[in-house]
Amino acid sequence: MHLPGQRAVHEIGLWVFLCFIAVIFNNFSRYYRIFGSIDCICKWEA
């Protein structure tokens, strides 16, 4: 048997995790471009 407070903490953690994933996917294309340009710069430096 879980305590009510314990269950609430797990649900909050799950929602935070889902929101975090959603934010990452929303910003993925922007981050991908940034990391892609960094990768190109690294290749030019090499």
Number of domains the chain contains: 1
Place of tokens 């609430």: 8
Domain that holds residue 36: 1-46
**Nearest-angstrom CA–CA distance, 12 and 31:** 27
Element (H, E) at 21: helix 4-45
The per-residue pLDDT for range 12-31, each reduced to its tens digit, is 889 999 999 988 888 787 77
Whole-number mean pLDDT of the chain?
78
Structure tokens at 11: 């649900």
Whether the full predicted model's pTM is greater than 0.95, yes or no, is no
**CA–CA separation, 39 and 31 (whole Å):** 12
